[in-house]
Structure 1
Amino acid sequence: METFYTAIGKFEIYTDKHGKRFPVVRNGREMYCITMEELLIWSSLLYNVCTFEIAEKLFHEKEQEYRVWRTGRFEDYMEQLEQKGLVLSGTGWIPADAIYDLIGNLHIFPRKIKLSEQLKRFCELTIKRKIPVYITKRLFARIRYTDDQKKLLKLLNHSSLSADELIYCVDHQITEIPSPEKLSDRIWSDSEGNNWSGSSSENRNWVIQEIVNLYLWKQIDLQIK
């Protein structure tokens, strides 16, 4: 069996009524306090899709980079994050099945990146991390989308959709979405009457692959329904 992991949510610094500041991750309406160890894991998995072994390796690298000396086991930190719903996992016999299980029912939002956010990140990489400007400029170069990616992003600009809903739209050549409710009703009707299933669609693998690519490039956000 294959298992893949990713993280969801938004990092914030929360200030309580006494003026004390501490790190939290907001997921929808819920806000979770997290330890430094959990934060290192969560940040390694955000905009990433990887196996348990790679997640652990990334955690160890960040431990050394930020000089965090943990007292617990990596497995326990991962379990705590999964219980909070900040780390998600998907399992299947092959990688494609596992990734579909991971993101198939998540809501997908096109990510609007602010110029101020880009400038802040650019300065962090060039000044703090001493990365040469010519390399940093490449990281911020405009992404050239494939035709398939453009097709998916056009659908997402109408409404946030799940991977299953995107697969359905591709299967049925839907390019305009009047309302998410009507689309959901149509999918439910076809699932019941015509035995339609995103998991068995011929378009499933490439749609899922392009969703993952857009996610790794930080062009979309994932969220639980």
Structure 2
Amino acid sequence: MCTYYTAVGNFRRKRDSSGQTYPVIIVNRKEYMVDRQEMALWTCLNWRITNMEQAREHYEKLEQSLHPYITRTLENCLKRLEVRGLVVSGNGDTDFEALYDLLGGLYVIPISESIPLRAATFLKMVLLEGVAVSKARQLFQRDQPNQREAQILALSKQALLSTAELIKCAEAGVSDLSTDQKVMAALYDDDFTTCDNIRWEMMQAESREDVTLAVANLYLRKQVIFERLG
């Protein structure tokens, strides 16, 4: 059994009445306060898709700087983030099945659509991850997506879509989702497909692997973030 983890939402710095700053993670427009240990682990998983061993490797690089703020084991901290919906996991008998289980129900948000989000993401890379300003600028330069990646970005800019919904759009050759009616017609135009079961229906789709890998590549190249609803 393979298991992969990643972070959802985006990081913001807030300021309290005394002028002190503190980190929050925003998921589905809701703010979640996190302690230093949670913030460190969330940062390790943000823009990464890792197994437990890889997550531990990234986390141990920050662990020494967290003393005396470590109050729980890595496993317990990870579980707490999962329960709060700030981290998600996917399981499967193969690497790809675990990847699809991880990404199928997550919503894809192009970060280029939000200047404040891009600014907050840039600050997170520089302040929390220790990325040099010059390197961070390079990462935020517009890259050249391939045809499938460009299709995903174009669709995601028109409507809030999960990876499974993007697969169905690819299967149907849909390119116009400019209205709610067109979204419903493209995704839920029959008597059995719902937002609850589309993830499972698309498991057998021909475009499943192609789209899922394209979504993962866009995420790893910091072109999109993942959002969770509900």
Task: Output the TM-score relative to the length of structure 2.
Answer: 0.80
Summarize deviations over 1:4-54 as a string: whole Å, max 9, x none: 111112222333445554322222232222111111100111111111111
Cα contact 1:103–1:163 (8 A) shared by 2:
yes
Decide whether aligned partners of structure 1 residues 21 and 138 sit closer, same or farther in structure 2, where only a CA change above 3 A counts. closer
Residue 91 of structure 1: how far off its partner (Å): 0.8
**Aligned twin of 2:169:** 169
Choose which of 203, 220, 224 in structure 1 pairs with 2:224. 220
Given residue 156 of structure 1, which amino acid in structure 2 is its aligned partner?
A: S
Q: Aligned partners of 2:131 and 2:30: how far apart in 1?
A: 36
Choose which of 201, 204, 212 in structure 2 pairs with 1:200. 204
Cα contact 2:172–2:186 (8 A) shared by 1:
no
Structure 1 gaps, min length 5: none
Summarize deviations over 1:180-220 as a string: whole Å, max 9, x none: 45434553444728x98211111101110000000111111
Residue 72 of structure 1: how far off its partner (Å): 2.3
Given residue 101 of structure 2, which amino acid in structure 1 is its aligned partner?
A: D
Q: 1:105-116, aligned counterparts within 5 Å?
A: 105-112=105-112, 114=115
**Aligned twin of 1:55:** 55
Decide whether aligned partners of structure 1 residues 72 and 161 sit closer, same or farther in structure 2, where only a CA change above 3 A counts. same
Cα contact 2:4–2:99 (8 A) shared by 1:
yes
Task: Output the TM-score relative to the length of structure 1.
Answer: 0.82
Greater shift, 29-38 or 48-57, is seen at 29-38
Q: Aligned partners of 1:184 and 1:47: how far apart in 2?
A: 30
Cα contact 1:107–1:163 (8 A) shared by 2:
yes
**Aligned twin of 1:155:** 155
Given residue 214 of structure 1, which amino acid in structure 2 is its aligned partner?
A: L
Residue 3 of structure 1: how far off its partner (Å): 0.8
Summarize deviations over 1:99-146 as a string: whole Å, max 9, x none: 11111111111111649839x66x949xx969696x677545541211
The Cα RMSD (Å) is 3.3
Given residue 221 of structure 1, which amino acid in structure 2 is its aligned partner?
A: I
Cα contact 1:37–1:68 (8 A) shared by 2:
no
Q: Aligned partners of 2:224 and 2:45: how far apart in 1?
A: 15
Decide whether aligned partners of structure 1 residues 132 and 32 sit closer, same or farther in structure 2, where only a CA change above 3 A counts. closer
Q: How many residues align?
A: 220
